[in-house]
Amino acid sequence: IRKIGVLTSGGDAPGMNAAIRAVVRTAKYYDVDVVGIRKGYAGLIGGEIKEMHSRDVSNVLNLGGTILHTARCPEMMTDEGLDKAAAIYKILGLDALVVIGGDGSYRGLAELVKRGVNGVGIPATIDLDMKGTEYTIGFDTAVNTGMDALNKLRDTSNSHERCSVVEVMGRDAGYIAVWCGMCGGAEEVMFPEEKENINSDRVIQQILENRSIGKRHNLVVVAEGVGGTQKLAQDIQEITGIQTRATILGHLQRGGSPTATDRMHASMMGYHAVKAILEGRENIAVAYNRGRYEILDLLESLQMDKELDPEIYDVIKILSI
Ligand code: ADP
């Protein structure tokens, strides 16, 4: 193994820089050359590539976002684009391509594997919605940002005896929502995994009940994948007469300096990715399961199961009385 490439792709996540740093420095430690590819697969196809050394990743451990920048690249959805990306990988003489990104980025990488690329995935998305791994880089920072916002909204909603409805990110998954709900002390959480049980009447009923047992303000978390937050706030106000405000946190949750948890996982996963490449492993995904880092088969990891533990929601309800 002489030379590897690294890129960040899809939605950015705090901790991506810590992962880039770990990949570059571990490679350098073992005398492997590294090229950084800008803007994800777009930069691979467009040739935005430069050599990286240890000093290029100085002072980035603490930074949110990604110094390599990221992008969504529609060309990867075409045979032509995929062939071009694989051809550039070969021209560059790469022995592996490390992709730090989410589910979509992994699927793109799986297509490149079919074209002869040695693909290595490091899971990074604030949404936690990746199969095969219990942790994805960026989740902890995003949840902490959401929790801070809930703390602040709680202050003002308590002072005015209002109801606050807060929409958090997560795409089609409810991990951020249930974590924010639990850690921010919400009395209700609406998240996509509830499926047919998603019900605004239940939420409104709960608010009325909670007022009747002496609660003076209300906090409801809605997952992005459920949506309808403004409408829910209006309905709550109309039906209950309680002043209600909707807040959509949006991309706020994508930014910020990564937490210790994200820096730790990103550093360890970056290290394990390079170690596995050096050991001759091919087409792999780094994962964290049951307290350990694992090296999985990339294609198999995409097929694995992952479920949100429904007990979290049950506990939120028990603790909200
Ligand atoms: P994330 O990696 O955060 O899930 P996206 O779903 O936007 O983000 O995926 C990032 C990029 O990965 C896409 O813009 C595209 O270039 C590539 N990609 C996603 N899905 C596929 C696919 N099925 N085939 C090829 N490339 C894909």
Cβ atoms of 233 and 246 closer than 8 Å:
yes
- Alpha carbon distance, N-terminus to C-terminus of the chain: 58
Structure tokens given for 168: 């958090």
Structure tokens given for 25: 């420095």
Confidence (pLDDT) at 104: 97
Summarize pLDDT for 70-110 with one digit per residue, the tens: 999 999 999 999 999 999 999 999 999 999 999 999 999 99
Query: Sorting pLDDT into bands at 50, 70 and 90, what band is 167?
Result: very high
State residue 138 phi and psi, 5-degree precision. Answer: 110, -20
Q: Calculate mean pLDDT across residues 118-133.
A: 98
Phi-psi region of 40 (alpha: psi -120 to 50; beta: other; left: phi over 0): left
Confidence (pLDDT) at 157: 95
Among the options 12, 127, 140, 262, which is catalytic? 127
Q: Calculate mean pLDDT across residues 247-272.
A: 98
Pocket test of ligand 1: the residue of 9, 39, 100, 176 to mutate, having most ligand atoms within 8 Å of its CB, is 9
State residue 219 phi and psi, 5-degree precision. Answer: -135, 120
Compute the distance between CA of residue 303 and CA of residue 298 in angstroms, rounded to an integer: 9
Summarize pLDDT for 188-214 with one digit per residue, the tens: 999 999 998 899 999 999 999 999 999
Query: Sorting pLDDT into bands at 50, 70 and 90, what band is 116?
Result: very high
Please confirm, yes or no, whether 127 is among the known catalytic residues: yes
Q: How many CB atoms lie within 10 A of CB 141?
A: 25
Angle (nearest 5°) at CA 47 between 45 and 49: 125
Mean pLDDT of the chain: 97
Pocket test of ligand 1: the residue of 7, 69, 72 to mutate, having most ligand atoms within 8 Å of its CB, is 72
Confidence (pLDDT) at 162: 96
What pTM, to 2 d.p., does this model score?
0.97
Give the Å distance between the CA of 37 and the centre of ligand 1.
16
Percent of the chain with pLDDT over 70: 100
Q: Which atom of ligand 1 is nearest to the CA of 42?
A: 16
Which amino acid appears at position 90 of this protein?
K
Q: Which atom of ligand 1 is nearest to the CA of 125?
A: 3
Nearest CA to ligand 1 atom 18: 108
Query: Do the bridges between strand 292-297 and strand 284-289 make them parallel or antiparallel, or are there none, so unpaired?
Result: antiparallel
Q: Which atom of ligand 1 is nearest to the CA of 71?
A: 14
Confidence (pLDDT) at 25: 98
Q: At what angle do helices 16-29 and 260-278 cross, to 10 degrees?
A: 40
Confidence (pLDDT) at 194: 92
Compute the distance between CA of residue 146 and CA of residue 255 in angstroms, rounded to an integer: 11
Q: Calculate mean pLDDT across residues 257-261.
A: 98
Compute the distance between CA of residue 269 and CA of residue 20 in angstroms, rounded to an integer: 10
ipTM for this model: 0.98
Q: Calculate mean pLDDT across residues 107-128.
A: 98
Q: Calculate mean pLDDT across residues 152-180.
A: 97
Compute the distance between CA of residue 70 and CA of residue 17 in angstroms, rounded to an integer: 12
